[in-house]
Chain A
Amino acid sequence: MAPPNGDKGTALLEKLSRIDSGKPPFGCMQCGLCAATCPLGPAMEYPPRKLILQTIAGNLDKVLTSPSLWMCVACYACSKRCPRGIELTEELWPALRDAAMQEGHQPPAELQETFQNVFKYGNVLGKSPRQRLQWAKDLDVRVLDLSKDPKPVDVLWLVGCYPSYYPRNQGVARSFARIMTELGVSWGILGTKEKAVGECDRMFGEEGLFETLVEQNRQLFDEQDFGKIVVLDPHAFRALQSFYPRFGAWYPVQHYTQFLEEYIEQLKPLMVKPVEAVVTYHDNCCVGRRCECYDPPRELLKLIPGVKLVEMSRNRDDSLCCGGGGGGMWLDAHIVANGGRRLSDERVQQAADTGADTLAVSCPYELSRFEDAAKVTGLEGKLKVRDIIELMAESMDLGERSIA
């Protein structure tokens, strides 16, 4: 019997039966745990459970045209809990979005713009690649640009789009450069040649674009001689760890929290200045929930004298997403227009409820998302949002010497 959607239905189901991680969706028992777990589930016309049901039943046209297809923010909560081990976040949603785009159903405009930015400029912000090194201007430590001066290094640091261009994040990049130098790490960057890793493109079903990026990045990486890649962006970490190898592009990669944790003993005596703050840490979804790496960021925070670490009621496994993952960064308007809410607003409130004055993060998106959220929810001035790197640099007294 031919499936109701003919060839495209067959192709999609065929694709879903050959997925790379987790179990295929055909084993779904319609328990609805995913739908009720999803922070945006109540607002979705087709939350994950219904998405599967309709897809298997052959009602593809319904799900591919629904606004809810563009509401998942890749928080991994559903995948993590699904009792049948179905990888919804990384497999089902991207496959359906890919199918939708192939059918000519476009994602929300803001997201399309982001794809185009990546396509044209190699970064999500649509900035000129020539300005990629702007963040390092007048920096008081030596920055080795491997694209100009290829040398063997231990660490190839992918600075990332936000830390390269976005003013609020540039300080984080500068601090990280100083911390690595202080630790005596041999590191280098790709300078103006660096490109987005493309995680959001894959999660959003832009598979063609993603493949192009993998190819371009593979060439760039293969020109260099390095021990491992270190990234600030958890999404880039996940992409390099899990999606790149599917194209044969395998590189050892660490998120910066994992990387720095290996230097704990060396870092201890370097923490000279107390940072008096009550800090609560927000687990990001990619390094946290998906890879179950919960301790390194906390261990780093515990190193800092003066910091009192408190936990939000939802932490680790149960952490609430900031809403920025897998392209969610450019979906706030779409989500709110379709009855959803900004998860970052809720999350800063949860942080404030702990009595903390500082919300520590380890993801470039979260800085601006949570700062905006603090403004919207009236927490501005009461709750500071800071990257772990910033807190560490402050304690290590690695301030903006050259600038100040």
Chain B
Amino acid sequence: MSDNETLRIGVYVCHCGTNIAAVIDVEALTKFAEGLPHVALARNYKYMCSDPGQELVKQDIAEYGLNRIVVAACSPNLHEPTFRRAAEDAGLNRFLVQMANIREQVAWVTEDGELALEKAKAHVAGAVRRVARHEALQRQFVRITPRAMVVGGGIAGIQAALTLAEAGKEVVLVEREPSIGGHMAMFDKTFPTLDCAACILTPKMTSVKVNPNIKLLTYSEIESVEGSVGNFKVKVRRKPRYINEDLCVGCMQCIDGCVFTQAKFPNSFDQGLGMRKPVWVPFPQAVPPVPVVDPEVCLQIARGKCKQGCVEACGERGAFDFDQQEKIEEYEVGAIIIATGFKAFDPSVIPYYGYGKYPNVYTSLEVERLLNAGGPTGGKLILRDGSTPKKVGIIHCVGSRDVNYHEYCSRVCCMYSLKIAHLVREKTGAEVYNCYIDIRAPGKGFEEFYNRVQNEGVQFVRGKVADITPVANGSGPLVMKVDDTLLGHIREIEVDMVILAVALEPHADAGEVRRNFGISCSNEGFFLEKHPKLAPVNTANDGVLVAGACQGAKDIPDTVAQADAAAAKALAMIDAGEIELEPNTAWIDEEMCSGCKTCINLCPFQAITADEERKIAVIDQALCKGCGTCVAACPSGAAKQHLFGDRQIDEELEGLMNYV
């Protein structure tokens, strides 16, 4: 806007109840504002954000012809949209409003009232001088691609994908293992209700398979992510299965046909306790029901020579394709839900538990597989020598609540340890000792379950086990040494089997996923939500949402709730059809641009391209995040930024520094 327009600025000082007014003399501040250049009117009011407060601004615009507004109140993060809207309602361009943050930056952090007043004056003067230089801007919107991507096909990803698909939205579900299902597919029963895990999970997995809105990409990983909210371009790397998914009917006859008569390669889904062949499926209800061939051990692929019993068994279906290559596919999506889950802590780093050294020390996840009817022992809880344990020790908090490993509580281990204790007693009648520090049972029905397991005769020992040693050399029984803090003395408890309730930790590649999607991790490495209370599924990158154990250790009920929340957020975004862009984007003054391309490589969001014909740089307004890098770097001063022009900044600084 031109310099000769008559400026009429209105300044509004908010008391924010006593938040501001108890520290800053709002009357004096108002008086001061009245004396600033171009200020037509200054007022103070108890709650500017309230309806009457906003009404005040609207009336004054109409009555006094105000054409700039300054509100001295709280952080613009909170109420800038409120006052922009009020101005717009009164017919003023919404970007002719500026806030002075005299609450967070002054009242809350300054004890001395006089100093606070001086500081507030500086803020108000800065805002007044700045807003005088504001220009009317147009709001900008981008269309949202009406499709979502879900990364990770555990219960979180499955739930989110189904909710979106059932609402009629297209979903691309990317899972890196051969089947969806995640950890839940490994369990026999789930606490606290002891539902059979497969009975409640497999119907959902089947729904994923048959829902026409879901494009399921298993055995696939994220290669790269470009673009931003509303319009992401995601490249997915599809690993070769060596079996054509479209032709395979899931009969599994190839597995029988394989020239290896014995399954002799460790099955990772069974935690290595069971064996598989080179052509395999992780578990019978796998989705998709399509085997994969392990290229490391398949004779045909590794050595180029095999009788190919599998191909013969497949017969005329002809699904085998040993020439399959890795493929990169690109998908355009408007929103992304990350649901990559967790990894179980590897206890072999704790020397005193002897995991990996004593064969009868197991992790909880291994025991889940032993207890599962579809697992390597057909659901029998047996030791490696085939015998049934008569005494079992369960050690809580292994790798959790420990500054040497993970300081946080993993939230589910107490409950799954109770579940395992129950199942061990049910299946073997063994004596069970749960050694715990505190039992954490805060969920619905959890305390009742704890009580039930106590009444089933499980022994509870309050203390963290300090040592596990074999009674004699070799693979026999073990002694757990523990300070029974309630009895008040140190006990040595002999058991046949020790189960370590291992922590839930972030995946080793969480850092890579974080970088790919432009989000952050908290200290412990789980993905960081935008706000721990008020934005628990959003992330710092708009359009990227998180759900399930990848955001922090949690159980299935919480995972499912969070997955639905993330799906609802994605739905809301997609249904809105378009999204407003931040106004503070950068733009190129075409007259001034020399076409040097300095800015192009510097832009962290790849928002700038070169127009080779006109020899100028062009900024994509939808991709620009307003970081200002190009503005600072441009040697010709051609890159400029809305709301952050040189004169706007200069004037604000002038006001702040020379306010008197």
Residues of chain A touching chain B, judged by Cβ–Cβ distance below 8 Å, are 23, 29-37, 41-42, 47, 49-50, 81-85, 316-318
Contact B483 A32 (CB under 8 A): yes
Contacts of A50 in B (CB 8 A): 488
Q: Which 7 A-B pairs have the closest CB atoms?
A: A32-B483, A36-B466, A83-B402, A31-B464, A85-B403, A32-B463, A35-B483
Q: How far is the CA of A319 from the CA of B397 in the complex (A)?
A: 23
B481 an interface residue at 8 Å Cβ cutoff? Answer: yes
Q: Of B352, B403, B404, B437, which contacts A318 at CB under 8 A?
A: B352
Contacts of B114 in A (CB 8 A): none
Contacts of A42 in B (CB 8 A): 489-490
Interface centre among A34, A35, A41 (most CB of B within 10 A): A35
Contact A41 B483 (CB under 8 A): yes
B621 to chain A, nearest CB (A): 50
Q: How far is the CA of A318 from the CA of B463 in the complex (A)?
A: 20
10 A-B pairs within 8 Å (CB atoms) are namely: A29-B401, A32-B462, A32-B482, A32-B485, A34-B483, A36-B465, A36-B481, A47-B490, A49-B485, A318-B351
Q: Quick one: CB contact mask for B462-496 with A, threshold 8 Å, 1 for yes? A: 11111100000000000001111100111000000
Q: Which single residue of chain A is at the shortest CB-CB distance from B461? A: A32
Contacts of A49 in B (CB 8 A): 483, 485
Q: How far is the CA of A34 from the CA of B438 in the complex (A)?
A: 16
Q: Which single residue of chain B is at the shortest CB-CB distance from A43? A: B490
A283 to chain B, nearest CB (A): 12
Q: Of B397, B401, B464, which contacts A32 at CB under 8 A?
A: B464
A350 to chain B, nearest CB (A): 12
Contact A36 B482 (CB under 8 A): yes
Contacts of B462 in A (CB 8 A): 32
Contacts of B438 in A (CB 8 A): 29
Contact B351 A316 (CB under 8 A): yes
Contacts of B404 in A (CB 8 A): 81, 83, 85
Q: Quick one: CB contact mask for B340-368 with A, threshold 8 Å, 1 for yes? A: 00000000000110000000000000000
Given contacts A35-B483, A35-B490, 8 further A-B contacts (CB under 8 A): A31-B464, A35-B466, A36-B463, A36-B481, A49-B485, A83-B404, A316-B351, A318-B351
Q: How many CB-defined contacts (below 8 Å) exist between A and B?
A: 68
Interface centre among A29, A31, A47 (most CB of B within 10 A): A31
Q: How far is the CA of A49 from the CA of B541 in the complex (A)?
A: 46
Number of B residues, CB within 8 Å of A: 23
Q: Which single residue of chain A is at the shortest CB-CB distance from B469? A: A313
Q: How far is the CA of A84 from the CA of B485 in the complex (A)?
A: 17
Given A32-B463, A33-B466, A317:B351 Cβ within 8 A:
yes
Contacts of B481 in A (CB 8 A): 36
Given A29-B437, A31-B437, A31-B485, A37:B401 Cβ within 8 A:
no
Residues of chain B touching chain A, judged by Cβ–Cβ distance below 8 Å, are 351-352, 397, 401-404, 437-438, 462-467, 481-485, 488-490
Contacts of A84 in B (CB 8 A): 403
Q: How far is the CA of A5 from the CA of B484 in the complex (A)?
A: 28
What is the interface of chain A mostly: helix, strand, loop, or mixed? Answer: helix
A290 to chain B, nearest CB (A): 14
Contacts of A82 in B (CB 8 A): 403
Q: How far is the CA of A85 from the CA of B402 in the complex (A)?
A: 8
Contact A33 B483 (CB under 8 A): yes
Interface centre among A30, A34, A41, A85 (most CB of B within 10 A): A30
Q: How far is the CA of A157 from the CA of B466 in the complex (A)?
A: 39
Q: How far is the CA of A84 from the CA of B483 in the complex (A)?
A: 16
Q: Of A29, A36, A83, which contacts B483 at CB under 8 A?
A: A36
Q: How far is the CA of A37 from the CA of B469 in the complex (A)?
A: 12
Q: How far is the CA of A36 from the CA of B479 in the complex (A)?
A: 12
Q: How far is the CA of A82 from the CA of B352 in the complex (A)?
A: 13
Q: Which single residue of chain B is at the shortest CB-CB distance from A48? A: B483
Q: How far is the CA of A36 from the CA of B435 in the complex (A)?
A: 13
Contact A47 B351 (CB under 8 A): no
Q: Which single residue of chain B is at the shortest CB-CB distance from A317? A: B351
Q: Of A31, A34, A83, which contacts B403 at CB under 8 A?
A: A83
B326 to chain A, nearest CB (A): 41
Contacts of A318 in B (CB 8 A): 351-352
Q: How far is the CA of A60 from the CA of B174 in the complex (A)?
A: 61
Q: Which single residue of chain B is at the shortest CB-CB distance from A42? A: B490
Q: Of A29, A30, A81, which contacts B466 at CB under 8 A?
A: A81
Contacts of B482 in A (CB 8 A): 32, 36
Q: How far is the CA of A25 from the CA of B462 in the complex (A)?
A: 20
Q: Which single residue of chain B is at the shortest CB-CB distance from A315? A: B351
Contacts of B467 in A (CB 8 A): 36-37
B121 to chain A, nearest CB (A): 42
B456 to chain A, nearest CB (A): 25
A217 to chain B, nearest CB (A): 34
Contacts of A31 in B (CB 8 A): 397, 437, 463-464, 483, 485
Given A35-B490, A36-B490, A318-B352, A30:B485 Cβ within 8 A:
yes
Q: How far is the CA of A395 from the CA of B513 in the complex (A)?
A: 54
Contacts of A81 in B (CB 8 A): 352, 404, 466
Contacts of A317 in B (CB 8 A): 351
Contacts of B352 in A (CB 8 A): 37, 81, 318
Contacts of B483 in A (CB 8 A): 31-36, 41, 47, 49
Q: Which single residue of chain B is at the shortest CB-CB distance from A22? A: B403
Contact B490 A41 (CB under 8 A): yes
Q: How far is the CA of A316 from the CA of B351 in the complex (A)?
A: 10
A75 to chain B, nearest CB (A): 13
Q: How far is the CA of A47 from the CA of B352 in the complex (A)?
A: 19
Q: How far is the CA of A247 from the CA of B462 in the complex (A)?
A: 41
Given A32-B485, A83-B401, A37:B466 Cβ within 8 A:
yes
Q: How far is the CA of A284 from the CA of B618 in the complex (A)?
A: 67
Q: Which single residue of chain B is at the shortest CB-CB distance from A318? A: B351
Contacts of A34 in B (CB 8 A): 466, 483
Contacts of B484 in A (CB 8 A): 32
Q: How far is the CA of A30 from the CA of B466 in the complex (A)?
A: 13
Interface centre among B397, B466, B482 (most CB of A within 10 A): B466
B466 to chain A, nearest CB (A): 3
Contacts of A33 in B (CB 8 A): 463-466, 483
